[in-house]
Structure formats: structure tokens, C-alpha cells
Amino acid sequence: MRAGVLGASQKRAVAPASADTGGRPGALARTRERAGWLFIAPNLLAVLVFLVFPLVFSLYLSFHSWDLFSPPQFVGLRNYRRLFGSDPLFLIALRNTAVFTVLTLVPTVVIGLGIAGLLNRKVPGIGVFRTMAFLPLVASTVAMAVVWRFMFTTDGGLLNVMLGWAGVPAVPWLTDPDWALVSLSIVTVWKSLPFATVILLAAMQGVPETLYEAAKIDGAGVLRRFRSITLPLIRGPLSFVFVITVINSVQAFDQAYALTGGNGGPETGTYLLGIMLFQHAFGFYEVGYASALAWVIFGILLVLTVIQLRLARRAESDL
């Protein structure tokens, strides 16, 4: 009798729940799914409009000739054949971009590792120095390039004045093609260092202190601990810094435009791929040709990124 009463009460408790879902167990799940799609719809629409559509449209334009005013005309692979076969400026831009990437990548990683190692210390006031190291990242790229342009002035520039105090003759920072690319690399390294330092510092702070203490007991010095403990354990973030620095260097435009102008001067000293793309798209109104160049840049970055990631995974597997 008692069991029958309990069974009846359980049935009455279950009955309202079944009535709320209309007797369909999946109704609540479908309602939640629709609500989820409604929540992500604005973001999904933004991705489609501002990312997917420009990518597809630029790929479409790379096979056409378009000057922004007349209708696009299909030309097939002519833009790509012109880029690789009959445009000598593409090879100059590719060479300058490769040299610029090396001049930017190596100092950014090496100096970033050094600064991160110095900031990875528990000393009074270290937070102030960490904030100062991060400040260049929040500065406007164009504004800081203008400031650096005044510092690089051959006659009366701050850098040449300081070199004159040491008895060093004035350096043609922005008037000599070779020095102009070096000057651009210096500005880019100064701008890229904060990001690399923050990433590497966060990775170093995740290394267990017990490993360093054990290495100290074994008699390992500072450099040996850094080489044998720190570098292997921050290999992932270090690879990330490599990839991001290479991508930013290949895509460099704003600092080059503000520092040396939109023509890649002096002569072709700072004629990078980004400057070439800008000229053809908004100077010569060859949007189709510029789109083909943009996809070539994308292919270069994709290959470099894949190679770097594979090397990083192979190195991690060897540990």
C-alpha cells in the first residue's frame, strides 16, 4: 500500500515536466540551440561581411583587371604572370622584405628574451620597469614613426648629435638606401619588442622554480640554466613570437610609409611588399594586380608559418 502511494506521487511529479516540454525530450535542446545561434548571429555576420567576403572578393579580383571605376574585366592568370615574369620591382620588394624580416626578427627575439629574463625577477619596483617596457606597444605606429624620422635627420638629428659627441661622423639614416632599410628595421624592432617581451615573460613565469633550484644545487650557472631549462620550456611561446614577428614584418606598411614616404625611397631602399601593394591599389588604381600581390603575400606567409610550426613541433618531440 505504501509503495503504491509513493509510485503515484512520483508519477504526479513527473507529469508536469512532461507537459512543459510538450512530451518532446529534444524540445528544450532545440530551443537552446536556436538561442545559441541567435547569440552568435551578429558576430557570425560580422565575420562573413568583414573577413570572408573581402577574402573571396580579393581572390575574384586577382583574376580581373579593375581600376575602381570601370567594370572588372576577366584576364585569367595575367596578373600573376606579370608579377612573376615581367615586373622587376616585385623582385626588389621581395628582396627588401626578406632582408627587412631578418633584420627585424633576430633582434626582436634576442633582445626580447634578454629583457624578459631581466624582468623575470622578484625585486622591489619591478612592476614599474615592466610597465615601461610595455609602453611602446600602446603608442601610435604613425606617430612614433614621425618622431623617429626627426631623430634620424642627418643634420641635427638626435642620433647623429649623440654620435658626434663620440666622434662618429653623421650617418645618412634616411638618405642612403641601405641605411634607410636599417633605420626602418630599428623602428620596427622598437615597436615589436613589447609584445615579444610580454609573451616571453609570461612563459618564463610559468617555469617551475624547483627546476632552477635543482640546477643551482648541481652548480649550473645563469647561462646554463637559461639554455638548458628556460629555452626548452618556453619553446611554444617562442615559436609564436617567431611567427607573429615574421607576419608583421612581411605585412609592414604604416611605419615604412610614415618614415620614408609611400614610394619606398630613397631610390628603392625601403620598397617593401606592403608599399608595392599600396602603390598599385591606390596610386595606379590597378586593384586586380594588387589583389594578386596580396594573395602572393598570403601564400608566402602561409608557407613560412607552416614551416615554422613543423620545426617547432619536431623540436618539442625531440625533448
Are the CB atoms for 58 and 287 separated by under 8 Å? no
pTM to 2 decimals?
0.85
Whether residue 1 is predicted with pLDDT greater than 80 in this model: the reply is: no
Locate 59 and state its grid cell. 581572390
**Domain 87-317 class?**
mainly alpha
pLDDT digits (tens, 9 = 90+) for 136-186: 878 888 888 889 999 998 888 899 999 999 988 999 999 999 999 999 999
pLDDT digits (tens, 9 = 90+) for 243-279: 999 999 999 998 899 898 888 888 899 999 999 999 9
Q: What is the pLDDT of residue 25?
A: 56
Locate 319 and state its grid cell. 625533448
Q: How confident is the model at residue 302 (pLDDT cuts 50, 70, 90)?
A: very high
Average pLDDT over residues 231-238: 89
Whether residue 23 is predicted with pLDDT greater than 80 in this model: the reply is: no
Average predicted confidence (pLDDT) for the chain: 87
Q: What is the pLDDT of residue 319?
A: 60
Whether residue 21 is predicted with pLDDT greater than 70 in this model: the reply is: no
Whether residue 46 is predicted with pLDDT greater than 70 in this model: the reply is: yes
Whether residue 220 is predicted with pLDDT greater than 90 in this model: the reply is: no
* CA dist., res. 202 & res. 225, Å (int): 18
- The domains of the chain are located at 87-317
